Chains A and B, each alone.
Chain A
Amino acid sequence: MTRQLRPLPTLFAGCWLALVLAMAATNVQAAPSRLVADLSQTRVDITSGYHGTELLLFGAYEGVPGDELVLIVEGPATDIVQRRKEKKAGIWVNVETFIWQQAPSFYHMFSTAAFDRIADADVRRSAEIGPASGGLMLVAGANVNRGYEGGGDERTRAAEPTRGTSEQEAGLRRNMTANGLWQSKPSSIITQQNMLFRTMLSLPSNVPTGDYVVRILHFRNGVALSERTTDMNIRKAGMSALIYRFAHDYPVFYGLFAIAFAVASGWLAAVAFRRG
């Protein structure tokens, strides 16, 4: 089988071959594992040179013609503040704030066909396909203290959480798609012989850090046959982690250090260019 593959980078071919062999081995043991998935990288380090990256998501499944696959990469849940602007006295002003509670900070989904062709809405919801499939809750008219680094503590709530309407969810989806954190990519999974699959995951430069879950679902005739999950971790590393931790763990020293650095370099510049 593998000899019939189209020319591919040797890495991909190597991975695929290994998977096929692994599947063949498991089949012999009569404990059919119908779905295997892996990533080219299970840990992504955000170093100073990071400017987004691409990961290969690949695996093998036991399919028949007509089978479909759905692949979901989900980031850690977080509260998301959403604001709405209105024109007041000739200028555009934020007039309304609401907080989406524990919504996915990152949600990219891939499939072999249009999502509504793979399974109907109820099945997709019960299989938790879609960033809002669990039903997102929001607090309207909320006041968010320290919006940027909130940390989840100092929030005063003006109202009890309510379920977001489909209109509100569409607004959230639009914003999150625009900033690249939520993506829906139907027909983006490439399959071979109903056995192998692969797709590319593009992590944007503003990717949230934390623990990610990669889920792969195998559908036949609109029903989910099996599901596998695998973990991925994205974290700051190297100098960018060092600066971030310094700023957050020792804020006073960080501030003093930043001032000292500025004074020293300003002085150096003055001295250097006076002689020059």
Chain B
Amino acid sequence: MYIYLPIAEVSMHIGIIIGLGGGVGFLSGLFGVGGGFLMTPLLIFFGIPPAVAVSTEANQIVASSVSGVLAHMRRGNVDFKMGGILMVGGVIGSSLGVALFSFLRSIGQIDLVIQLSYVVFLGIIGSLMLTESVRTMIRTSRPGAARGKLHQHNWLHGLPLKMRFRRSTLYISAIMPLLLGAFVGVLAAIMGVGGGFIMVPAMIYLLGMPTSVVVGTSLFQIIFVTANVTLLQSIQTQTVDFLLAGLLLFGAVIGAQFGSRAGALLRGEQLRGLLALVVLAVCLKIGYDLVVRPEDLLSVELLR
């Protein structure tokens, strides 16, 4: 059964939409990630206009983040103070990102910037994760290996506006999380992702937060960043397809349940290694599309 998506203005098989939601939901449940970095390229691949894919995915991530953050809140794994500062940065950053998105689209370069962002950031994060997980796998197979320091003090700790984050047991400058939030916010708005895949490692390695609170705190701030993108894109470009988001969500909710059950069967570093391979595969596919000669060098877009 095909369904006509009123904002995307294309019709898609309802099984494909729910299947996409389910598949990406499964992976996001398995790895504990939002899955926007998979869903947005897949939607574009299936013929949804990039602008609609990015805005609609932001809307869907609002739901999956709310769903995820509730579980972390019950376990007390959300640092609201840190989340609040990241959120302020994120709202500013994503507003800039939406403006930048409109500008890039007007000069016909939005597809290129989306693709390049994916290649660069997925490439970096994927390679880091893969090396880290392989190292851990080797280390755990050799008993008695020395553990490294939890986090080190560096120049970042010399910045002004120091604040105490009790839940994260940190005393650091608020400038750092503010800038981090803003940076990830810009990327979230342009790439149609929540940005957790950048936020989580940055929180651990850059801010030095304990791993127990990073996922919950990241999800908490992603809700506000993606809600901001949803609202701004609705107002400025009318590219949020509510019907598409709802159907994707339906699949994703179910897929995530199976994913999290499957995830319990694997060890942390195995999961991270697998996720790294998925991330790198997406990166390579998009990179390949940029390099290979397009079928037709000309392309059209109808204005109304």
Residues on A lying within 8 angstroms of B by beta carbon are 46-52, 78-87, 90-94, 97, 99, 105, 143-152, 171-172, 174-176, 178-179, 181, 205-206, 208, 236, 239-241, 243-244, 247-248, 251-252, 254-259, 261-263, 265-267, 269-271, 273-274
A262 touches B231 (CB 8 A): no
| Cα distance, A149 to B291, chains bound together (Å) | 29
| Cα distance, A219 to B300, chains bound together (Å) | 34
Q: List chain B residues, Cβ under 8 A from A273.
A: 253, 257
B230 touches A258 (CB 8 A): yes
| Those 10 A-B pairs whose CB atoms lie nearest each other, nearest first | A255-B234, A266-B66, A51-B2, A266-B63, A240-B6, A262-B62, A262-B63, A150-B303, A255-B231, A266-B67
30 A-B pairs with C-beta separation under 8 A: A50-B4, A80-B300, A81-B300, A81-B302, A81-B303, A83-B108, A84-B297, A94-B108, A145-B106, A146-B237, A148-B237, A149-B237, A174-B298, A175-B300, A205-B4, A208-B302, A239-B243, A240-B5, A240-B243, A243-B7, A247-B238, A259-B62, A259-B231, A261-B242, A262-B63, A262-B230, A263-B63, A266-B62, A266-B70, A270-B70
Beyond contacts A171-B298, A262-B59, A267-B70: 16 other A-B pairs, Cβ-Cβ < 8 A, are A85-B297, A85-B299, A92-B291, A93-B109, A93-B112, A143-B106, A146-B102, A205-B2, A255-B232, A258-B234, A258-B240, A259-B62, A261-B242, A262-B62, A263-B63, A270-B66
B63 touches A252 (CB 8 A): no
A83 touches B299 (CB 8 A): yes
Contact with A along B87-131 (1 / 0, CB 8 A): 000000000000000100111110110000000000000000000
Q: A254-B242, A258-B234, A267-B67 are in contact. Are A80 and B107 (CB under 8 A)?
A: no
Q: List chain B residues, Cβ under 8 A from A150.
A: 303-304
Q: A144-B108, A265-B246 are in contact. Are A175 and B6 (CB under 8 A)?
A: no
Q: List chain A residues, Cβ under 8 A from B107.
A: 97, 143
- Closest residue on chain B to residue A171 by CB atoms: B298
| Cα distance, A97 to B245, chains bound together (Å) | 32
| Cα distance, A84 to B253, chains bound together (Å) | 41
Query: Total contacts A to B, CB within 8 angstroms?
Result: 217
A146 touches B106 (CB 8 A): yes
Contacting A at CB under 8 A, from B65-97, are 65-68, 70-71
Q: List chain A residues, Cβ under 8 A from B303.
A: 78-81, 99, 144, 147, 150-152
Q: List chain B residues, Cβ under 8 A from A105.
A: 302
